[in-house]
Amino acid sequence: MATGLFSSSAKKRNGSLLNVSVEDQLSEIRDDIAALSSVLSKHGAKASRDVRAKAGDIREHAEAGFEDLRENLEPLLAELRDRYSVAERQVRQGVREHPVATIGAAAALGLLFAVLMRRR
C-alpha cells in the first residue's frame, strides 16, 4: 500500500515504505486520483451552478434596466420629433418669406466653407 493524497494506510518506518508492492502502490494512487477527481467534479459542478445563477441574476437586472431606459427614452424621442417638426416648419416659412435672402445666406456659407477648406 502506498501513501496517497487521501490515504494513510501504508505502514512507514523512518519515512520509507515497508513491504509494499508496486502494484499496491499504483492501485492506491489510482484510488487517490479517483477520489481527487470526484472532489474536483463536485466543486466544479457547484461553481458552475453558482455562475449560472449569478449570470441569470445579472441578465434579469440588465433586462429591467433596459426596459426602464426604453420607457424613459420614448417620451424624450417624441419631444425631439416635435421640436424638429417645429424647427422645420419655421425654416420653411422663413424660406418662403425671404427667398432671395435665403439664397444669399446659402451662397455666403458656401463661400466661407470653401475659404476655410482651402486654408487646410
**Rounded to an integer, what distance in angstroms lies between the CA atom of residue 59 and that of residue 52?**
10
Please measure the distance between the N-terminal and C-terminal CA atoms of the chain and give it in whole angstroms.
86
pTM given for the model: 0.41
| Mean pLDDT score across all residues of the chain | 85
What's the CA gap between 8 and 1, in Å, rounded? Answer: 9
CA 120 to chain centre: 42
The pLDDT of residue 22 is: 87
Which pLDDT band, with edges at 50, 70 and 90, does 120 fall under?
confident
At residue 2, the pLDDT reads 47
Question: Given the C-alpha cell 426596459, which residue does it identify?
Answer: 67
- Number of CB atoms found within 10 A of residue 28's CB: 20
pLDDT tens-place string over residues 15-40? 555 567 888 889 999 999 999 999 99
Q: What is the mean pLDDT of residues 67-91?
A: 93
Q: Choose between 92 and 12: higher pLDDT.
A: 92
From CA 99, how far away is CA 52, in angstroms rounded? 66
d(CA 103, CA 95): 9
Residue 17: closest CA among 33, 34, 4, 31:
4
